[in-house]
Amino acid sequence: MENIAGHKPALRWVVNISVIVLVLMWVIPTTGLLVSSFRDRDQISYTGWWKAPFQQEQNQIFRSQPPDTQFEADGEFILEGNIFEGEEGKVLAFGTSSRDPTRYQPNDIGEMSKSRTMVVDNDGNYRIASPEPHSGNRGVRIFATTSQPPKMTLENYAKVIFSEGLGQSFLNTFSVTIPATVIPILIAAFAAYALAWMEFPGKYILIACVVGLLVVPLQLTFIPLLRLHNTLGIGKEYLGIWLAHTGFGLPLAIYLLRNYIAGLPKEIIESARVDGATDFDIFRKIILQLSFPALASFAIFQFLWVWNDLLVATVFLGNNEDQLVMTGRLRELLGSRGGDWEILATSAFVSIAVPILVFFLLQKYLVRGLLAGSVKGG
């Protein structure tokens, strides 16, 4: 196909640019979240994430030092300080009331009630003077349009992992995922071998059943299984969800592995049989090693599916600290911290970091698995 595009430079440009546009459309959403997860909380809510690397111009409200820091000079009571409190920044305009927050240029004298005056300079130093002593225990509000350098921080990550409970949920997700990935593989591999290389009545009906079960909607299974689990006493236990994920994952596992194992060279298996090996020996010594790529494909599928699952976990696990998985936590945060994007973005990123890592490292096997059995729907 190279030759079609290769001969015409104009066409090659069109193709390249189209792909760039397509890739951007697919990458930008995730990028927005990734960038936001490193931004300062205030800056997220004042400017869009695409402005993150630039100087941040924003309207902010500050408070001066409290009245107990005032001092007297030339018969006036003075409050002094810097609105940036040690951080870098420039003041572009300031105001004394919320009705007109950008009324004064830096170094202008702003008028306030009770004959007070306020001056803010370029660097954020302010001086509020009053003929009477300042009263109350809170500082005076200062409205300012500021320009600050972009602030990038890891604080959000520390916050969600340690105080929003995402660290615990990470462990919970791990506890669900690993057994639910490992257990089905062995069970499926034996069944797949039997369906591929052994002769027995009803074999084709069984294969048809496996293909049929691939698409059974999980919704259908929840109420009966939950009742069953409750009767058995594993209604909200890890054991219950491991078994459930194993059961749900088996059709795909058997289907993928059977296709692969059935395609292995006949000679190998037959010569082993002639040498007197039982099927158990053949499976153990030959099949398991040869079908490693298929086993890896399924393992990745199952891992991603279980790690990312919200539905099964909501049904078969509880909501307490020891059981809430990351997807469940994310759903909860969406409800309770709806507008706090620094929390949501960071939590989402923590929860998708592992699958993305697995994806990029093991993409080869994932693609191979997809090509071998593209009938699974979850």
Partner 1 sequence: MEQVLFALGTILIGVTGCIAYFYFSNLVLDIIFPNKGANAGRNINLTLAIRPWLFMGPAIVLLSVYLVYPVVNSIWLALHDSNAQQFVGLDNFFWLVGDSKFQESLRNNLLWLIVVPAASTAFGLIAAALTDRIKWGKLAQSLIFMPMAISFIGAAVIWKFIYDFRGEGVPEIGLLNALVNYFGGEPTAWITLSPGNNFLLMIVLIWIQTGFAMVILSAALKGIPEETIEAAVIDGATPLQIFFRIMVPQIMGTIAVVWTTITILVLKVFDIVLAMTNGQWGTQVLANLMFDWMFRGNDSGRASTVALVIMILVIPIMIWNIRNAKKEMS
Q: Are 257 and 372 in contact (CB under 8 A)?
A: no
Question: Cα–Cα distance between 69 and 172 in angstroms, integer?
Answer: 50
Scanning 25-33, 98-106, 138-146, 289-297 for contacts with partner 1 by CB under 8 A, the matching segment is: 25-33
278 binds partner 1 (CB under 8 A): yes
Task: Find the radius of gyration of the CA atoms of the chain.
Answer: 32
Quick one: which of 72, 199, 267, 275 contacts partner 1 (CB under 8 A)? 199
Cα-Cα-Cα-Cα torsion 328, 333, 334, 337, nearest 10 degrees, comes to: 170
287 binds partner 1 (CB under 8 A): no
Scanning 105-113, 129-137, 149-157, 302-310 for contacts with partner 1 by CB under 8 A, the matching segment is: 302-310
CA separation, residue 364 to residues 27, 46, 127, 353 (Å): 20, 42, 64, 19
157 binds partner 1 (CB under 8 A): no
Per-residue binding string, partner 1, 164-193, x by CB under 8 A, is: -------xx-xxx-xx--xx--xxx-xx-x
Q: Are 281 and 346 in contact (CB under 8 A)?
A: no
Cβ closest to partner 1, residue 127 vs residue 368:
368
Min dist. Cβ of residue 1 to partner 1 (A): 6
Min dist. Cβ of residue 31 to partner 1 (A): 10
Min dist. Cβ of residue 278 to partner 1 (A): 7
In 3-state terms, what secondary structure has residue 317?
coil
Residue 130 backbone phi and psi in degrees, to 5: -145, 140
DSSP 186-212: HHHHHHHHHHHH---TTHHHHHHHHHH
> Site residues for partner 1, window 323-362 (CB under 8 A)?
327, 330-331, 334, 341, 344-345, 347-348, 351-352, 355-356, 358-360
Quick one: which of 228, 233, 268, 271 contacts partner 1 (CB under 8 A)? 228
Min dist. Cβ of residue 115 to partner 1 (A): 31
Question: Cα–Cα distance between 255 and 207 in angstroms, integer?
Answer: 8
Q: Are 295 and 372 in contact (CB under 8 A)?
A: no
152 binds partner 1 (CB under 8 A): no
52 binds partner 1 (CB under 8 A): no
Min dist. Cβ of residue 63 to partner 1 (A): 21
251 binds partner 1 (CB under 8 A): yes
